[in-house]
Structure 1
Amino acid sequence: MSLQEDFHQIPIVRLITPFIIGIIFQIQFSLNLQYCFYIITSLFLLYLVLIKIKKLNSNYKTRWILGIVISLILFFAGIEIVILQNNKFLTSKKDDKGLVIATITKQPVEKLKSIKLIVEVNSIKKENRWINTNGQAIVYIQKDSLSKKINIGNQLMFNSILSTIKNPGNPNEFDYSKYMAFHLISRQAYIQSNNWEILSKNEGSAIFLYAANLRKYLLSIYSQNNIKDKNFAVLSALTLGYKDKLDEQTKRAYSSSGAMHILAVSGLHVGIIYVILNYLLSFLNKKSILILLKFFLIIIFLWCYAFLTGLSPSVMRSSLMFSFVAIGRAIKRNTNIYNTIAASAFLLLIFNPFYIYDVGFQLSYLAVTGIVFFYQRIYSVFEFKNFFVDKIWSLTSVSIAAQLSTFPIAIFYFHKFPNYFLLTNIIVIPFATVLIYLAILLFIFSFFNPIALIIAKILSTSVKWLNSAVSFIESLPYSTTKNIYFDNYQVIIIYLIIILVSLFFIFHKAKYLKLALSSVIIFLIINIYQSYNLNKQTKFIVYNIKNVSAYNFIKGKKNIFFTDIDESNYGNDFKYQVENNWLKLGLKNEFVASINNSNNNLLKNNNEYFNSSFFFIKKNFINFTGKRFLILNQNIYKSPKIKKRIYLDYLILSNNVNFSIYDIITQFDVKQIIIDSSNSKWEKNTWTKDCNLYNINCHSVADLGAYQVDM
């Protein structure tokens, strides 16, 4: 069978492609298409006219015209879906201050000093009148005994500033504002303990409320049966999709070992539930009407589980797919699995088009597609008669299939690769299966305490063994390859290589191998070109990190970083903001210099000089590749007797230094003033205003994002 014939058997895949392109197009370019609906309607009417033309419809050579019209309809439908979804955002782009009424839509999360809430904003009081609105926001309430009692479905009234979520603007930093926007959240607020009250309870969707309360009850069964701490956190995530108790150490261990996927409720979990339900309801296999009832009940229970676990993209994908399988079996029709995958994606993207940029959505669909496409081909390479060896090889084949389809995008997002993923999956997948069965038994026998305690003990011990196995794999030498960077083009080329090599092995045509080798050459050329540019780079960056001074001097692969963060908090406070940028720029070994704000030397650990062929420093003066810098973080440079102004390319104002713009221009001839993020809002605003008054180039990183210049 040819590739074209195969493609004709998956019509839903062909239909979803222009739809996805339309979604991505609108998200990237945000076109203001007010008449998109009328374009879709016109194209649909044109399609109805064209299908009435028999010559056009019956002639194979002209049928492509209908295909183009359908593709355009779906392309503009993708655009329209994004436009409609954007209308759910809070419409005002300015911060709103005053009274707000909002309903809690997700289970509150207890943080160190606050309670984190996801709320649907119902109305805002402006100019003494209530204005109905929509859109979601993140709200942090100061933690106390009352705020701990807040629950999903509570409607709150609070007095606070509902501010727009802003991105710090640091180069290549994770874009938090975009991430929240894709989750339909555009605002945030912090509420003091005395500035809120509960207006009512049990507001919002009854189904979501019931599911959240049921999950809370099931979690309490774990706690009541002495499943605690790390065991509770892992078991809650694995069985019920509750990840709030997972600490960073546990996440890192599961991620580095390649076991993170079992903590995200997905196809493995839903598949186990499907098998259990199919077995328990097998007594209904007697009559056609009872078979229909059986699969109807299976679908209902699958979606109950999906609601129970929080309706993540992965669990919705799995539930939809198994629902389609159940429908196919109920009506005794075998459906093409690729059509099933595409149909589930289609429905989810109609529900929320921003899922297309959700990492979980991408990994979930790539993994299941890879397993369907590669598994049988890999599994058939070897044949084992021993039952257990065969099962191990089957798990290995699944792991390789999933990894082949997900590793490029996983490296793109997480910049690392778990080298022992095969060993990990052989261990954790059987463990996860057993844990799900045991958890179901615990829920069933929770009313009978003696049996429940025995099951809970076995369950807790099993989770402990799982955690130990994962930690052991993480601790092995070379368990993870880190600091790998792929850009968009490299990811696309790698997927192209995988597809072309696969087509070569399936159809045994040399053209696919030639194209694959050409793609490899292009990939290598891109790498060489990037490496050449990185070796030539010269950059200066002032990062936007709240209440922190952070400056980066980069020459080729040499990386000098100044900060006033205490060394004990080095990793926690700013690596998140700068590490991804260093990775993209090929900077693996940074020299970190601690800024001193207490005397007239900029550096704590270098009393007089730190210099090289391109970098020279004395006190607070820096010469970097011929450019002159001064970091003003003390008042030591005020001098009424100065005769000649000192020329500076860049002057950085830091640490709320008591230096006016007038003082600066009387002593320095400055090309560019930069106000770093360690300064107070009042100082920043004063300096910015005066710079505008004296017509001086000024950049406040707190307002405008990081300052970056190529030299």
Structure 2
Amino acid sequence: MFANHKGEIPFVILLIPFIAGIGFAISFPNSQINHVITSILIALSIGYIALNFSYKYLSLYKQPLIGGASVYSILFLSGWVCAAQYNQFKSASHFSKHTNEQLVVSIANEPVIKNGYIRFAANVNEVVNNKQRSSVIGKLLVSIKDSAAFNLSYGDVLLITAKYNEVDPPFNPAEFNYKQYLANQNIYHQAYLYPKQYAVVGHNKGIPIIAYSLQLRQQLVNSFRKHMTDTSAIAVASTMILGYKADLSEDVLNAYTNTGTLHVLSVSGAHVAIVFMLLNWGLLFLNRFRYGKIIRALLIIALIWGYALLTGLSPAVNRAALMISLIIIGNNFYRYVNALNLLAASAFALLLYNPYYITDVGFQLSYLAIGGLTIFQPVLYKSFEFRNKWMDKLWSLCSFSIAAQLITFPLSAYYFHQFPVYFLLSNLFILLPVIVIMYVGFAFLVLSNIPYAGDALGFLLEKSIIIMNKGLALLEHLPFASLNKLWISKNDYLLLYGIIILFFYFLFNKNKRLLNWSLALIVVLAISLGWKKVDSSSTSGITFLNLKKNRGIVFKNGSNAVVLSDLKPDEKNYKYAIQPGLDSTKVVNVKTYSFAADFSLPLIRKKGNVIQFLDKNLLLLDSSTLITDNKVNIDYAYVSQNADIKVVENYSSKLLIINADNSNRYTDTIVRYLLKNNRKFYSLKRNKALNLPSN
């Protein structure tokens, strides 16, 4: 289906055990095991080399399995060792393992200004303790609330106070795991700094070519701002052409997400391919000269990587740039090039450089999409034939979109929990605007300083983007434009991939057994999803959320829920910390009330600070609760806003929940009191949400 012989795709075969090794190392991080794995790898490698020198003497050519098993084992262990070595937190040289008063850090990426903070990742180079400096390793996420820091840039060196904390894990059900997201970038700690807690001690200490590319990108973004007026158009142009996402609004992002065109806003393979086609055409004249073909190839490769550098070197861009470079090299040496083998070779090279790329969603989706197009698109295209030339071209475009969407759907549903229904229509709609925007955008970047040319190209670029945005906004608001709240497990998305692969393989060789297996997996998936739906609709309970400075309690009964919170449903923190838990448990009907509101519903009622839910009662104790002479027995007491401890003493409960909005000092005091009096409690301070089932 994608190769006549396995000899055409050696990198595909070699990549599998290497990725498996990386996956095991990430899933089971253990520094002691890593030493053992490294020793085994060295021993196996030496043994394999020795076998190659003595294969004739030992007649090993008669035992091909020995060589194959050795190679696969070495690749598996190599992947494990690469991933283990990348994890800086396990090293004794990590800055968190040293006593420190101050840290010397260098800004490692382009700082972003948002909500009054400037935020950036920083490499920790040295720790300072008693005026003694020691070299260390590690990365730190730094946020500074100081307008004077807004001029900081990549490569600046700072001396900061060593006030940092480990990144918090997700505290609430289905909340995004920001801790793991940063850990995949070797960041395990974060620091919030204010004036006088940092000092700039150096400039331009980063990699010069990266510093230059970031400065150039900022200048080009400023050119967009100078010649264009619509803020959304400027943000889309900066994102599509230069990979600069800082100005992108949530509304624009949602429009592209809900229509299945988000890939347009991520500089990826399609963008690099457009650049390649432009360069390939523009430098065609070099073929007339001696060695012109080689010079043209080298220029294209250099300019492609220059563009990749300008856009931030994302995994998707790296993959495309590396693949195109390999294709150019292969074509210039008149070698047969298998696209899938090149795809695997680029993945192998990138994972050698950074094995944790395998955890990057962009990396996964990019490689899946290109792999799906390489393998499945030809099969899908040949399944239907059209005699009309234009219908055939239309079907060719549709088959590309369908193949890419199908192969990425399970992973997209797992990560983003939605499916764009009109993806085919929206992708066909943006086809022409994207090409126009990219080519006009590149022309603008080259000619923007020429009088009248910059204004004319800026006008054309802005109007093209506005038309595309308005068209996508119309598609976004069509009935059933997007299926949301698609929460699936890892087993579910593996089943989906099994169904998709078997179905396409059936289209390829028409073996009905494959179709039957695909249908069988559909039944298994339906049972799995149905069981979860039934289980969720039959459960009830109370969940006390950890919202840090806010309060939140969820009362769930089947597919209905009442949320008691300081946050409103349209607030960002509500969508981040509360909504995912509701969606993942299949809640359909949600009512949200403030803590001051009284209400009466069939299964729950609240009056004052007393809540009755099914057969449980809950008492809310906060700063407004008054001391009474009557002691009341209740199931649960919820303490927030530093409630008077005398009030807490006045009530007896089976379980007392201490909310995270209480101060550290207050929490320590009340915990000591509860321990002294043998009262059961649960503190939400830096702790996971508490779920108490009612049935």
Fold-level match, TM-score > 0.5? yes
Question: Hey, what's the Cα distance between the residues in 2 that align with 1:582 and 1:286?
Answer: 65
Question: Hey, what's the Cα distance between the residues in 2 that align with 1:586 and 1:95?
Answer: 46
Aligned-residue offset at 1:4: 10
Is 688-697 or 233-242 further displaced after alignment? 688-697
Aligned-residue offset at 1:704: 1.7
Tell me if 1:101 matches 2:126: no
Aligned-residue offset at 1:543: 0.9
SS in 1 for 2:556: strand
**Distance verdict in 2 for CA 1:510–1:49, change over 3 Å:** farther
| Contact in 2 for aligned 1:561/1:591 (Cα 8 Å) | yes
4+ aligned runs moved over 6 Å, structure 1? 94-97
- Give the structure 2 partner of residue 270 of structure 1: 272
Which of 194, 197, 200 is residue 195 of structure 1 equivalent to?
Answer: 197
SS in 2 for 1:704: coil
| Contact in 1 for aligned 2:88/2:186 (Cα 8 Å) | no
Tell me if 1:17 matches 2:25: no
* 1:153-198 Cα shifts (integer Å, max 9, x gaps): 2112233612221124212111001111112222222222343332
Question: Hey, what's the Cα distance between the residues in 2 that align with 1:677 and 1:328?
Answer: 60
Tell me if 1:655 matches 2:654: no
* 1:639-670 Cα shifts (integer Å, max 9, x gaps): 4x54xx6444432211211125xx645x4443
Aligned-residue offset at 1:577: 0.8
Q: Kindly provide the amino acid, as one letter, of the partner of residue 113 in structure 1.
A: G
| Contact in 2 for aligned 1:160/1:190 (Cα 8 Å) | no
Tell me if 1:125 matches 2:125: no
- Give the structure 2 partner of residue 558 of structure 1: 560
| Contact in 2 for aligned 1:262/1:429 (Cα 8 Å) | no
Matched ranges for 1:391-470 at <5 A: 391-470=393-472
Tell me if 1:705 matches 2:672: no
Tell me if 1:83 matches 2:76: no
Q: Kindly provide the amino acid, as one letter, of the partner of residue 677 in structure 2.
A: Y
Which of 633, 655, 660 is residue 677 of structure 1 equivalent to?
Answer: 660
SS in 1 for 2:578: helix
* 1:568-597 Cα shifts (integer Å, max 9, x gaps): x6432312112222222111211222212x
When the two structures are aligned, how many residues end up with a matched partner? 688
Question: Hey, what's the Cα distance between the residues in 1 that align with 2:47 and 2:552?
Answer: 59
- Give the structure 2 partner of residue 600 of structure 1: none
Is 554-563 or 353-362 further displaced after alignment? 554-563
Question: Hey, what's the Cα distance between the residues in 2 that align with 1:272 and 1:707?
Answer: 51
- TM-score, normalization by structure 2: 0.93
| Contact in 1 for aligned 2:625/2:643 (Cα 8 Å) | no
List alignment gaps of at least 5 residues for structure 2. Answer: none
| Contact in 1 for aligned 2:95/2:137 (Cα 8 Å) | no
Aligned-residue offset at 1:385: 6.8
| Contact in 1 for aligned 2:485/2:584 (Cα 8 Å) | no
Aligned-residue offset at 1:531: 2.2
Question: Hey, what's the Cα distance between the residues in 2 that align with 1:506 and 1:676?
Answer: 58
- Give the structure 1 partner of residue 602 of structure 2: 612
Question: Hey, what's the Cα distance between the residues in 2 that align with 1:97 and 1:581?
Answer: 39
Aligned-residue offset at 1:411: 1.2
Question: Hey, what's the Cα distance between the residues in 1 that align with 2:10 and 2:677?
Answer: 65
SS in 2 for 1:212: helix
SS in 2 for 1:15: helix
SS in 2 for 1:449: coil
- Give the structure 2 partner of residue 366 of structure 1: 368
Tell me if 1:581 matches 2:575: no
- Give the structure 2 partner of residue 134 of structure 1: 137
- Give the structure 2 partner of residue 631 of structure 1: 620
Aligned-residue offset at 1:419: 1.3
SS in 2 for 1:531: helix
- Give the structure 2 partner of residue 74 of structure 1: 75
* 1:399-442 Cα shifts (integer Å, max 9, x gaps): 11111111111111111111111111112122111111112211
Matched ranges for 1:274-313 at <5 A: 274-286=276-288, 289-313=291-315
SS in 2 for 1:554: strand
SS in 1 for 2:370: helix
- TM-score, normalization by structure 1: 0.91
| Contact in 2 for aligned 1:135/1:184 (Cα 8 Å) | yes
SS in 1 for 2:479: coil
Q: Kindly provide the amino acid, as one letter, of the partner of residue 376 in structure 2.
A: F
Which of 117, 138, 143 is residue 114 of structure 1 equivalent to?
Answer: 117
Tell me if 1:694 matches 2:685: no
Q: Kindly provide the amino acid, as one letter, of the partner of residue 630 in structure 1.
A: L
Q: Kindly provide the amino acid, as one letter, of the partner of residue 439 in structure 1.
A: G
Question: Hey, what's the Cα distance between the residues in 1 that align with 2:546 and 2:98?
Answer: 20
**Distance verdict in 2 for CA 1:673–1:128, change over 3 Å:** farther
Aligned-residue offset at 1:524: 1.6
SS in 1 for 2:469: helix
**Distance verdict in 2 for CA 1:388–1:571, change over 3 Å:** farther
- Give the structure 2 partner of residue 347 of structure 1: 349
SS in 2 for 1:702: coil
